[in-house]
Structure 1
Amino acid sequence: MNTHEDVRAAIASLLRIGEPGDGLLKRLVDGIGPVAALAIIMAVGRGETTAHDAVQGLATTGTEAAEHGQMAEAIDRWAVRAGEAETQGNDLDTIARIGGRLVIPEDEEWPRMLDDLGPAAPLGLWVRGEASLSTVLNRAVAVVGARAASSYGTKCASDLAWDLAARGITVVSGGAFGIDAAAHRAAIAREAPTVAFMAGGVDRFYPAANAELFDQILTIGAIVSETAPGMTPMRHRFLLRNRLIAASSQVSVIVEAGWRSGALNTAGHALELSRQVAAFPGSVYSASSTGTHKLVREHEAELVTCSDDVIALMDDDAPALFDAAAAGAASESGNRSSTPDPREVLDEREKICLNALTVSKPLDVGTIASRAGLTIADALNSLTTLDLAGLAERRDTGWVKLHKSRR
């Protein structure tokens, strides 16, 4: 029987072996547990068995992960890093030396809202800072935007973050220059917790020029990353980091963003999760606001100008997707007239399939199955159920998630 610390140690190694958001690794871990998953990968890495034989062994035990056609290839890919996981030393010791910790789903501190990411949910989170994630993310808003922010954008972000912090709402961002830094600084000035999600290891502040800001965040908030200590920020890790920012927040506010801004990627993740997205208006002559205007024009974001607008979005459609406690409280209070949430009766495959859909871009069945880690048949069955539940619908070019149930 694996102990809690055995599981933590295995997840620590898997976070070094795999890349953030690897749905296949998550599927394998969900199927057999992190300790067994690590043992298989390490055995292949040491040449004690092959990935093909490992998958065959999984199939004989009825493990669903073995059904995925790319599992053997994925195990070979992870096995390349297996030696690195052994030679790098103990990441748990490294994080402990700098006063950090590894938070895993079995911990009370684990932020349950991240489970809404389904197959893209993180296996664990490296954390530094005084704040408890489950506590500070209970009511949180992401404030993100352009690195090359204008003075207008910086003031909007600062004012919004200050007002949100004053009302007990945690400000979440990415620690970057521009809008991110302005939001973090305003929350700190208000002596309120703020959370920065990083694309590299939490022992390597990036950008380095914001080191003083990160030190301040540590005293009152938290710095969080999915990547192992010492790992460098890379472009794809920034984009994958954005899904954690979106999932941890009830509303994602895009203050200022150009046409190709990474903040739009955060908005996209929020929309996929049926989270609220908001955007500040800017000058029609400003290139820094072309992205935010696009979100509003295409009805993917609500136009906001102050904290009251954002808080109204937080309270709209309450409870949030991840707020099961609030849903239970509403039921117990005698509110029998409200319509039950159709998501509550979905099975695991249907929930994963729902999370794989987007509200803005129709996806074909093959793409949905790949994103969800399901077979084509399972994806089709799940989509039919979601359609009947009013949670998804088929259009000419594919399937989309409905932001609100048709019921």
Structure 2
Amino acid sequence: MLEPGDERAGGWLRRTGPVELLRALRVTDGAAERLRGMSAVRLEGYRLRAAAAEPERDLAAVAAVGGRFVCPGDREWPSQLDDLGDARPVGLWVRGRPDLRLWALRSVAVVGARACTPYGAHMAATLGAGLAERGWVVVSGAAFGVDGAAHRGVLAVGGATAAVLACGVDVPYPRGHAELLGRVVRQGLVIAELPPGAHPTRSRFVLRNRVIAALTRGTVVVEAEYRSGSLVTARQAQRLGRFAMGVPGPVTSGLSAGVHELLRGEGVLVTDASEVAELIGDIGDLAPERRGPVLPRDRLDAAAAKVLDALPYHGLAHPRDLARAAGTSTDETLGRLYELHSLGFVEREGDGWRLTRPAPRNGDARRGGP
């Protein structure tokens, strides 16, 4: 009866309760006029919708596809959705066996462009699989592109995923993802704010994003243009106090321009599942330390490294000159030179020392000739 995200109607529902609100909109005894802010034009629109509402029919339709209706106050209701205030869903239609509330407690959204690049699809699938392997429920919108890739990545490793739709849970949209949605129902959850049989509209897609943002601990945007609906999800997550994360892409790609704008603000840059889990997870969910390869020179102590740095690239050097350049005594320098010699860094020629010459490559040896 109510459109998603209708805060005015949500306020009426909060103050009067669902039974009284439906009665006020269906009778003509003046009860509707007691609803604050109700103009005649608006009243007529709500009355038309109320007259067409058939809750029993909707409940029968969702039961026919093995689903259920979950509303505030139910044991399965995710209380984090209450953060939306009067824009909170009236209830959610759910297909799938898992408990919605329990799954939502440890969930993260992965969203992005529909017309994504191969890079975006790869990153979404990799993130989905990696988060699922770490015990996270991956939530997305089942759209083409990044959403579908994230769901498939989770399903490929037998993980947990939930699809939040902008239509009824019995409507396969987009039609090209009918098989994917069937797999999600069998392995996870399909969720919708609209009743069975409802079809999506442009505004419903935008409003669906607030549910994704509120349901999860954080939102990861993989690819998004400046006006992408995925950025709406991330910014809604920020307003609700959730984490907003972005996966960087080429600066020459318009599909990453929106993500980079998010990262210039309050968004957090992430590159893999471990970094996402570290940000939104519990104490101890740490990403591995990032560093380049350890080189033999890295293992030298400070004094030996100074002596090694003092040696010229070409030619010999006397220990006295090296001591002056390294700022150490001659005896200390000699001791470090013998240490460096044992490690293969330097060679001795008479009273002088030089850097060890690199071994000739096979090609160089052949070119030397007899």
Deviation at 1:28, TM superposition (A): 1.3
1:144 aligns with 2:121: no
Q: Which residue of the partner structure matches residue 127 of structure 2?
A: 160
Residue aligning to 1:336: none
- TM-superposed CA distance for 1:317, in Å, is 10
Q: Is the 8 A contact 2:71 2:77 kept in 1?
A: yes
2:267 aligns to what? 301
Kept after mapping to 1: 8 A contact 2:167/2:197: yes
1:193 aligns with 2:160: yes
CA distance in 1, matches of 2:281, 2:40: 45
Name the structure 1 match of 2:31: 54
1:30 corresponding residue in structure 2: 14
Could you tell me how far 1:261 is from its partner in structure 2? 1.2
For structure 2, the 5+ residue unaligned runs are 285-370
Q: How far is 1:287 from its partner?
A: 1.1
Whether 2:280 is the aligned partner of 1:314: answer: yes
Do the aligned partners of residues 139 and 252 (structure 1) sit closer, same or farther apart at CA in structure 2, a change above 3 Å counting?
same
CA positional deviation for 1:70: 4.0
SS at match of 2:220: strand
RMSD: 1.8
Quick check: which has more Rg, 1 or 2?
2
Equivalent of 1:281, from 240, 248, 256?
248
By how many angstroms is 1:85 displaced?
A: 1.4
Are the counterparts in 2 of residues 105 and 123 from structure 1 also a CA contact under 8 Å? yes
Distance in 2 separating the partners of 1:248 and 1:40: 31
Residue deviations 1:329-384 (CA, integer Å, cap 9, x gap): xxxxxxxxxxxxxxxxxxxxxxxxxxxxxxxxxxxxxxxxxxxxxxxxxxxxxxxx
Find out whether 1:261 has 2:209 as its counterpart.
no
Q: What displacement does 1:34 show?
A: 0.7
Which of these residues, 32, 43, 48, is aligned with residue 75 of structure 1?
43
SS at match of 1:157: helix
Matched residues in 2 for 1:135 and 1:30: separation?
25
Find the counterpart in structure 2 of residue 183 from structure 1: 150
Taking the aligned partners of 1:83 and 1:247, their CA distance within structure 2 comes to 31
Q: Distance in 1 between matches of 2:219 and 2:247?
A: 11
Map 1:170-249; keep pairs closer than 5 Å. Answer: 170-249=137-216
Amino acid of the residue matched to residue 175 of structure 1? A
Which 5+ residue runs of structure 1 have no aligned equivalent? 1-16, 59-65, 319-407
Q: Retained in 2: the 8 A contact 1:143–1:253?
A: yes
**Distance across 2 between alignment mates of 1:29 and 1:241:** 20
Match of residue 288 from structure 2:
none
CA contact (8 A) 1:55 1:71 kept: no
Aligned partners of 2:42 and 2:68: how far apart in 1?
Answer: 28
- Matching residue's letter, 2:123: C
> Which deviations, in whole Å up to 9, do the C-alpha atoms of 1:213-249 show, x marking residues without a partner?
0000001111111111111100000000000000011
Counterparts of 2:192 and 2:141 in 1: how far apart (Å)? Answer: 10
How far the C-alpha of 1:69 sits from its partner, in A, is: 2.7
How many Å apart are 1:55 and its aligned residue?
A: 4.6
Q: Aligned match of 1:98 in 36, 59, 65?
A: 65
**1:85: which partner in 2?**
53
Distance 2:185 2:38 in 1: 40
Deviations 1:181-203 (A, max 9, x none): 01001111111121100001111
Matched residues in 2 for 1:313 and 1:75: separation? Answer: 46
- Equivalent residue for 1:397? none
Take 2:41 and 2:273, find their aligned partners in 1: how far apart are those partners? 48
Shift of 1:83: 2.4
Structure 1: how far apart are the matches of 2:62 and 2:261?
Answer: 41
Residue identity in the other structure for 1:36? E
Counterparts of 2:275 and 2:134 in 1: how far apart (Å)?
Answer: 13
The number of aligned residues is: 284
Could you tell me which of 90, 94, 97 is aligned with 1:123? 90
- CA-CA distance at 1:32 after TM superposition: 1.7
- Look up the equivalent residue of 1:69 and give its one-letter code: G
CA distance change for structure 1 residues 55 and 79 in 2, over 3 Å: closer, same or farther? closer
Match in the other structure for 1:385: none
Number of the residue aligned with 2:289? none
Aligned to 1:271: 238
Is the Cα contact below 8 Å between 2:24 and 2:32 reproduced in 1? no
Q: How much has 1:312 moved relative to structure 2?
A: 1.9
Aligned counterparts of 2:52 and 2:129: Cα–Cα separation in 1? 43
Q: What's the CA shift string for 1:24-68, capped at 9, x where partnerless?
A: 22111111211111111121xxxx33xxx3255x4xxxxxxx4x4
CA contact (8 A) 1:24 1:74 kept: no
Identity among equivalent positions (%) equals 44
Q: For residues 100 and 56 of structure 2, what CA distance do their matches in structure 1 show?
A: 26
Q: Distance in 2 between matches of 1:71 and 1:141?
A: 40
Q: CA contact under 8 A between 1:55 and 1:72: conserved in structure 2?
A: no
1:42 to 26, 48, 69: 26
* One-letter code aligned to 2:139: V
1:261 and 1:212 map into 2 onto residues whose CA distance is 26
